[in-house]
Amino acid sequence: MSDAKSRSHKAQKVIDRMGQKLSRQIAGSMIACVHCGMCIDSCHYVLANPGDPTYAPPYKADKIRKLFKKHFDWTGRVAPWWVKAGSVYTDEDLQELKDVVFGMCTNCRRCSLNCPMGVDFATFNRMARGLLVSVGVMPEGVAVVSKDQWETGNQMGVLKEDYLETIEWMEEEMRDELEDPDAKIPIDNPDCEVIYSINPREVKYDPRTIADAAKVFHAAGESWTMPSEGWDMTNFGLFSGDDDLGASVAKRLYEKVIELRGKRLVISECGHGLRSTQCEAPNWAKFDVPFEMESSVFTMLRYIKEGRIKVDKSRNPKPVTYHDSCNLARSCGVTEEPRELLHLVCEDFREMYPNRAENYCCTGGGGAMSMSEYTPRRLKSGVVKANQLKDTGAEVVVTSCHNCVDGLTDVIRHYELNMEVTQLVNLVANALVIEEKVAVPVERVPEVAVADLPLAGRRLVVADDEPDQVEFLAAVLEDNGATVFRAGTGDEALELVRREKPDLLTLDLSMPGRDVGEVFEMLRTELAFEDLKVCVITGRPELRRLIYDRSVRRPEGYLDKPVSEESLILNVRKILELAHEHETVG
């Protein structure tokens, strides 16, 4: 490059690596844009920011395209100003590019489908992310999650023991619910028809979905198992653009299925998980997958059609709508099967408009939920989704994607819509008609006595500097029977723990006053608090190092904001109940 001398090391690497990453499809997308503007208002960011052209897909695309024009195309090399060709020279230029490719686009592909020329911006935006990640330029949340997935094999850093304990816990719940001692969640059984892989979010925030899926498999009499390792079907490589990470993550799963001699890999409801595992990763990993793969939506639908499970749609009477995940609808063609299933298990299904491949992003796509620095921007763009949701008049929004569950939950809370978010597996499990094995009549208690509430008798300290958040957490916990003490700073939290001796402390990581890491370490080292359980609840995952880098026992739980009522209760219960079991066993 003639101007290489004036370029920083990282910027030079980005240019060099771009040359290796340019496929014919990407190069075509770089050249073919005619700046017609037809795609502009297909983007939810544009609609939410009227008058601001910097969100327009071709405007954002040109930030990457200019590099192509300057370094690889003809006219741009000779007369760069004529075609707005340009380069990156400094690390600040890379930071600016980072802000565009990570912070102003969720790679939802809606503009790609609306471009008459076939320009696939989302695909080359992902390439640009990968180039920046390769030189270490990325939002901190992306770095944290990527690191977790490289190191622990799953993107939420769930440890093997946590995973297995959660499954065990869910197995017990399922047994109790079905009153069937044979109900099991098998682990590592070889030669099964189905290997079921999940999203680590299910272990951390939504274990109910594991139990619900298990109920469905059990009712269908399926020969199935979950793997003890390589169980994460999500893939942060899709979001970060890091093909090596994508390949490595998927290979762990593929190899485990091969080791267990599974016939079919069933992927729980997750848009990017399905897209990565089924469509993209065989290419990233250069791996010919010798078994079938499908979304659990297809599996559940087949069970009903084959009469393997019976459902009663009157058990789901609330009006529901369906949100198409971008990855499912625009990259995997999964649009009709979820609807078919919904018609079978719900009484009142209402379509959302626009829908299917034209649906708008939940705002949480492309890994946006892990990039806390862009949260205000993301939530602002959520107005498009919020209006779509509101117009349906539904009380429940169903989605077949864990990422969308988080994105939608956040939008619903921010725009104060009175809706709940759920997944198909929850509705199918709820509609399941299971023939009772035991004919002992069970007396139903009409009202829940306080002592029966799941957190009755528990003492908790909630520490967070946002009063709304404290009130929300405290109210949910109190409604479930706990006695809650509120703290707004690290010092207050310390004082309350010393005074009230709670069972559990929920801890925000960015509170004013004394450093939260220090507070945590003090509590961990004081003998009096040996039994105190800590659950971190944060909107800034990049701050986890404040706690996790310390050489003391790790927190028992970790939740990313926004937290739903259900996941809060499930996690708090899990922490307290598992602790209780261990104590009993011990």
Partner 1 sequence: MSNLLHFSEHTLQEIALTFMALVYVTRITWFLRRFKAGTERQAPSGSPQTTKAKGVLYSWANVAMPWAMESTRSRPFMYVQFVVFHLGVTAAIALSFVIPYGAELLDSQLVVLLFQVIIGAACAVGVVRMIRRVSNPYIRAISSPDDYFSVALLTVWFFFAVLAAPNSTAMGEWHLLTYFLLTAFFLVYVPFSKISHYLYYPFTRYYFGKSMGYRGVYPLRGG
Q: Which residues bind ligand SF4 (CB under 6 A)?
A: 33-39, 42-43, 45, 57-58, 60, 105-111, 115-117, 119, 121-122
Among ligand SF4, partner 1, none, the one that 164 touches (CB under a kind-dependent 5 to 8 A) is none
Query: How many residues can be counted in the chain?
Result: 586
- Report the SS3 class of residue 399: strand
- Paired residues of 363 in beta bridges: none
State in angstroms the smallest separation of the CB of 260 from partner 1.
Answer: 20
Among the listed residues 13, 17, 28, 152, the single contact to partner 1 using CB under 8 A: 28
Residue choice 3, 4, 25, 343 for contact with partner 1 (CB under 8 A)? 25
Nearest approach in angstroms of CB 131 to ligand SF4 is 17
Tokens at 513, concatenated:
């006053």
325 belongs to the binding site for partner 1 (CB under 8 A)? no
End-to-end CA distance of the chain: 67
* In the complex, minimum distance from the CB of residue 481 to partner 1, in angstroms, rounded to a whole number: 46
Which residues lie across from 194 on neighbouring strands? 224, 264
**Two tokens at 408?**
């939608």
53 scored as a contact of partner 1 (CB under 8 A):
yes
Name residue 264's beta-bridge partners: 194, 292
Dihedral through CA 123, CA 124, CA 130, CA 132, nearest 10?
A: -150
Distance, CA of 61 to CA of 66 (rounded, Å): 9
- Confirm or reject binding of residue 344 to partner 1 (CB under 8 A): no
- Residue number with CB closer to partner 1 (83 or 245): 83
- Among 583, 566, 449, smallest CA distance to 212 is for 566
The backbone torsions φ and ψ at residue 256, rounded to the nearest 5 degrees and listed phi first, read -65, -40
Interface residue with partner 1, options 5, 9, 286, 444 (CB under 8 A)? 286
Say how far apart CA 472 and CA 489 lie, in whole Å. 17
Which of partner 1, ligand SF4, none does 105 bind, CB closer than 5 to 8 A by kind? ligand SF4
Residue number with CB closer to partner 1 (114 or 228) = 114
Provide, rounded to whole angstroms, the least separation between the CB of residue 352 and partner 1. Answer: 12
Long-range contacts of 448-452 (CB under 8 A, 24+ apart): 450/481, 451/481
Q: How far is CA 58 from the centre of its chain?
A: 28
Return the one option of ligand SF4, partner 1, none that residue 378 interacts with (CB less than 5 to 8 A, by type). none
* Residue 544 touches which of partner 1, ligand SF4, none (Cβ within 5-8 Å per kind): none
Smallest distance from the beta carbon of 326 to ligand SF4, in angstroms?
A: 7
Residues 197, 355: Cα–Cα separation, whole Å: 28
Q: For residues 102-161, which are near partner 1 according to CB under 8 A?
A: 112-120
Question: What residue 564 binds from ligand SF4, partner 1, none (CB within 5 to 8 A, per partner kind)?
Answer: none
CB of 21 to ligand SF4, least distance (A): 18
Residues in Cβ contact with 270 at an 8 Å cutoff, skipping those fewer than 6 apart: 199, 233, 234, 400, 401, 402, 403
Is residue 234 a contact partner of residue 275, using CB atoms and an 8 Å limit? Answer: no
Q: Least Å distance between CB 121 and partner 1?
A: 11
DSSP 3-state of 25:
helix
Spatial CB neighbours of 115, under 8 Å, sequence gap ≥ 6: 33, 38, 39, 121
DSSP 187: B
> What span, in angstroms and rounded, lies between the C-alpha atoms of 151 and 548?
14
- The residue among 32 and 475 lying less far from ligand SF4, judged by its C-beta, is 32
C-alpha to C-alpha distance for 166 and 174, rounded to whole angstroms? 12
Nearest CB to ligand SF4, comparing residues 55 and 205: 55
In whole angstroms, how close is the CB of 108 to ligand SF4 at the nearest point? 3
* 280 sits near partner 1 (criterion: CB under 8 A): yes
Residue 157 to residue 535: CA distance in whole angstroms:
15
122 binds, among ligand SF4, partner 1, none (CB under 5 to 8 A by kind): ligand SF4
| Residue closer to partner 1 (CB basis): 82 or 518 | 82
Q: Residue 100 interacts with partner 1 (CB under 8 A)?
A: no
417 — phi, psi (to 5°)?
-95, 140
From the CB of 245, what's the least distance to partner 1, in Å?
Answer: 18
The entry of partner 1, ligand SF4, none near residue 43 (CB within 5 to 8 angstroms by kind) is: ligand SF4
Of 10-18, 230-238, 335-343, 520-528, the window that binds partner 1 (rule: CB under 8 A) is 335-343
358 binds partner 1 (CB under 8 A): yes
Cβ 361 vs Cβ 331: under 8 Å: no
Could you give the C-alpha distances from 442 to 174, 175, 424, in angstroms and in order? Answer: 17, 15, 28
**Minimum distance from CB of 334 to partner 1 (Å)?**
7
User: Is residue 59 within the footprint of partner 1 (CB under 8 A)?
Assistant: yes
Residues 407, 378: Cα–Cα separation, whole Å: 9
Nearer to partner 1, 137 or 342 (CB): 342
Using CB under 8 A as the binding rule, whether residue 355 contacts partner 1 is answered as yes
- Helix (H) / strand (E) element for 460: namely strand 459-463
Q: Is 467 in the site for partner 1 (CB under 8 A)?
A: no
Closer residue to ligand SF4, CB minimum distance, 138 or 226:
138
Q: Which residue has the tokens 């960015």?
A: 510
Smallest gap from residue 490 Cβ to partner 1 (A): 46
Q: Which residues bind partner 1 (CB under 8 A)?
A: 22-29, 31-35, 37-40, 42, 46, 51, 53-54, 56, 58-59, 62, 72, 74-75, 81-84, 112-120, 278-283, 286-289, 292-293, 329-336, 339, 354-358
